[in-house]
Chain A
Amino acid sequence: GAGVSQTPSNKVTEKGKYVELRCDPISGHTALYWYRQSLGQGPEFLIYFQGTGAADDSGLPNDRFFAVRPEGSVSTLKIQRTERGDSAVYLCASSLQIGNGDEQFFGPGTRLTVL
């Protein structure tokens, strides 16, 4: 597709459940980023990948959060034992190559609601 896509667009789950959020980056983009945006706040960095490896996961809030990108394209953000505080919009972005000059192209986000 032309842009970054994310599925599902909305996810409602119950406290304690496991969820997976998917990101399809722009074809050919080697860098992929995950951010989380809570209501009334700007996006906050979670993790980024260069190719298949996580180059920086310092933004992951705790060990319930994990992300993979096994083939260097699609990425999945996994959240175990969800908590109400995990409710937010999860944004994915990709860029052509990792570097501070590269524009990050954002997807539409997945709105996660934990009841």
Chain B
Amino acid sequence: AQSVSQHNHHVILSEAASLELGCNYSYGGTVNLFWYVQYPGQHLQLLLKYFSGDPLVKGIKGFEAEFIKSKFSFNLRKPSVQWSDTAEYFCAVTPGSARQLTFGSGTQLTVLP
């Protein structure tokens, strides 16, 4: 079965610092890739997704992610974080034919003002 690894459990940054959250998956075929975010007290919402084409995907709020097929990775980046980016971030995948999402365990990001 496919799995998703997020190696950073908790990341603490100061405002304006750059962010990169790691995500690796274990599935050899075609995959669809997602990053979801959960702000404090809110429900999960989609940040960005990759299906095909340009491996550099841009999402909402200045986030982007790069799909590197040879490394089975889909890391999330943001050049300059803000205090309002404090949230939990989840990477998720669906193998090409599946419908349900397989999530990583999440990374809690804390941005200090």
Where the two chains meet, the residues of A that have a C-beta atom closer than 8 Å to any C-beta of B are 3-4, 31, 33, 35, 40-45, 48, 55-56, 59, 91, 93, 98-101, 103-104, 106-109
The main secondary structure of chain A at its interface with chain B is: loop
Chain B residues contacting A98 (CB-CB under 8 Å) are: 99
Q: B90 near A42 (CB under 8 angstroms)?
A: yes
Interface string of B40-78 (1 = CB under 8 A from A): 001111100101000000000000000000000000000
Q: Interface residues, chain B, CB within 8 Å of chain A?
A: 4, 6, 32, 36, 42-46, 49, 51, 90, 92, 94, 96-106
Q: List 13 A-B residue pairs with CB atoms under 8 Å apart, sorted by A's residue number.
A: A40-B105, A43-B90, A43-B101, A45-B100, A93-B44, A98-B99, A100-B32, A100-B94, A101-B51, A106-B43, A107-B43, A108-B43, A109-B43
Beta-carbon contact of A100 and B96 below 8 Å: yes
B106 near A100: Cβ-Cβ < 8 Å: no
